[in-house]
Structure 1
Amino acid sequence: MTSDKLMTNAVWPVMLTPMNWDRTIDWDGVDRITDWYIDAGCEGLFTNSRSSEVEFLTPEERVELAARVVKRAAGRAAVVATGTFGETAEQEIESIKRIHDVGADAVIILTNHLGDQGTSEAQWTGQLERIVDGTGDIPLGFYECPTPWKRLVPANVYEWAAHTGRFVFHKDVSHSVPDMAAKLAVSEGTPMRLYNGQISSVIESMQLGGSGHSGYASSLYPELVVWLCANGTRDDEQTRLVQRLLTVAERMINVNYPSSAKQWLSHRGEVEITPISRMPLANALDDHGFAPLQNMTEIIESLDLQLA
């Protein structure tokens, strides 16, 4: 996978991890969902994300999952995966190297893993610098993961990272168009690419120079997100309608996520997977809880969108 390919993808779904009923990873399901994302037009895949339940996987499972997705993608899509797991910078560096060694095109730094919630910006940046220095020429990225707390990347740190030439990917969870505008301004001319995690402002972020979307709307209707990101700078009645529909669909899947998303994909007949998740309190929805999702599907399908 070339660096140019990695830098120009518009849609990076945060991959769901299929589970068996006993909560072991369903490896055949991983293959099926990888194919499904790619067949829907996604040229980039983000595994070992929060939606992948990375916090609840063992260190060995994280490496095996990244390796499995890379192998199944087989050059049809770029693959990034989170890699900062450990108590010290040295352990996080080793974790990054393990993920890179199995073929990930870039390894993603979880911004809330470089210290605890009270860590100062100076301490956080020092940890980041040690990781960058210790990982050779491995392409890197940021993910402003919202759990267990959110650590946003300040524009000055984002500028430094972008100008190292090492950072090629940023999943933005600021939910702030001005914040994204600041990051895009200071990273202009660098390999860094910003992918908006909030579907409701994808048009706005792409108009500012953002490269697309990375979020769980792509796990619901990847084909619509692919179309939106290909046409988002157009900003017309069609693109606004698709963005509004995806915003509502994404919001409705929040309850019991990611079990609800797995249940929904199986119900639609898109991917044969169970609703099983390792996340606490993430259980399949009952009929009452699932009805809004079913209705949303019927509304979108009844519109018979003629996208051009």
Structure 2
Amino acid sequence: MVSYEKKFVPVMITPFNLKAKVDLDVVSTLIDFYLAAGVKGFFANCLSSEMYSITEDERLELTKHIVQYVDGRVPVVATGSFGLTIEDKADFTRRIYATGIDAVILITGHFANVDDSDEVLLRNFERMLKLTGDIPLGMYECPAPYKRILSTEVFKKLIDTGRFVYHKDTSITHENVAAKLAIAKDSDRLEFYDAHTPNAMFSLQQGAKGMSSISGNFYPEILVWMCNNANDPSKQEEVQWLQSELARVDPQIHIAYPMSAKYFLRKRGLPVRTISRAHALELTPEQKQALDDIHSSFLHWCEKLDITPVDVEELMLPKVPLDPPI
């Protein structure tokens, strides 16, 4: 996923039908929506996808469908480090890579227990690299099963293997993000994405390749605008204003996530049901009102920044087939 532009890469949610089965038709519609918003890649089979609540076969089927529907228009990455042993994780990594994705993401918390040392983590990563040939890999400091933040020393050692092309960071603090970006700049392969929306302006201006945050499942157009304009000297007043707005609402969109995102996308007109395997409870009236208020803020942001929201009604129109060749 190497390029010189800033990119927004959404962490895709998984729509379910009324029987709580993965709804691949709605997945296709969501892909159309994201692409219309201007995203430059997809992170499939991730925490937002409820990857711990779907089966192994569903992970593979979902990822394969996304790859086939995207059809090379933008890169696709997906999590692959599932299984009890390193051998199991390597096996699933090979299987999900075979779906056609561009890189397999490894969850840092999958390679050491919470009380294990960095030496244990590095030994397990080393075994994983030996078992996965030349498959392009990525790292993700996922909050589950627990958040394993990589130290700068570990981060550098992993980058120096030459196997990693993608990193999704959840360091949160500007100090930690800046330290990792200083290391990442020396790699001609690694792309660094910040998962923390309140960091967007800072990370993009410090050299991150882009953002990959859950807010893209509410208003991807806004994150695309931020990626496109964070480094534009003529737009700094607007960038700073938008960053303050994104930080203001960010705690609220995390409540009852990913159900909150599904409610928001449905409010925007997408056929996403408020059904989740990861969050079984219905949203409360107070939670819905908070999301309704954020939707009003989103429309205000678009108006102020001259952003055209995706026309979901037009997006939903039946596709007119092309005339067959004569």
For normalisation by structure 1, the TM-score amounts to: 0.93
Distance 1:198 1:282, change over 3 A: farther
Distance in 2 (CA, whole Å) between partners of 1:135 and 1:8 is 29
SS of residue in 2 equivalent to 1:25: coil
Contact 2:110–2:145, Cα closer than 8 Å, also in 1: no
Question: Which of 139, 143, 147 is equivalent to 2:140?
Answer: 143
Which of 86, 96, 99 is residue 99 of structure 1 equivalent to?
96
Q: C-alpha deviations, 1:264-299, integer Å up to 9, x for none? A: 110121x211010011x4433133320111112113
Rounded Cα–Cα distance in structure 2 between residues aligned with 1:284 and 1:12 = 28
Q: What RMSD in Å do the two structures reach over aligned CA positions?
A: 1.7
Please state how far the C-alpha of 1:307 moved relative to its aligned partner.
4.2
Instruction: Name the residue aligned to 2:197.
Output: 199
Percent of aligned positions with the same letter in both sequences? 36
- Partner residue, 2:273: 274
User: 1:245: Cα distance to partner?
Assistant: 2.3
How far apart in 1 are the matches of 2:90 and 2:140?
16
Q: Which has the larger radius of gyration?
A: 2
Note the 1:147-162 alignment, pairs <5 A: 147-162=144-159
* Equivalent pairs, count: 303
Matches of 1:165 and 1:9, distance apart in 2? 22
Unmatched segments (≥5 aa) in structure 2:
308-326
Q: Deviations over 1:224-272 (max 9, x none)?
A: 1011011112371101122222223332122211111101110121x21
Is the contact made by 2:6 and 2:228 (CA closer than 8 Å) also made in structure 1? no
Shift of 1:199: 0.9
Aligned equivalents of 2:111 and 2:300: distance in 1? 46
The alignment partner of 1:109 has SS state of strand
Displacement over 6 Å in runs of 4+: none
Residue number in structure 2 paired with 1:219: 217
Deviations 1:24-56 (A, max 9, x none): 111111111111111110011001110100011
Judge conservation of contact 2:12–2:44 (CA < 8 Å) in 1.
yes
Which secondary structure does the structure 1 equivalent of 2:49 belong to?
coil
SS in 2 for 1:305: helix
Deviates more, 1:78-87 or 1:291-300: 291-300
CA contact (8 A) 1:216 1:250 kept: no
1:27 to 24, 29, 35: 24
Please give the alpha-carbon distance, in whole angstroms, between the structure 1 residues aligned to 2:200 and 2:304: 19
**What residue ranges of structure 1 are gaps of 5+ in the alignment?**
none
- Residue 257 of structure 2 aligns with which residue? 257
Listed one character per residue, the Cα deviations across residues 190-214 of structure 1 (whole Å, up to 9, x for unaligned) are 1111111111111111222111111
Distance 2:201 2:170 in 1: 15
Alignment TM-score, normalising by the size of structure 2: 0.88
| 1:46-85 aligned within 5 A | 46-85=43-82
Partner of 1:274, secondary structure, is coil
The reply to whether residue 131 of structure 1 matches residue 120 of structure 2 is: no
Q: 1:261 to 1:282 in 2, by over 3 A?
A: farther
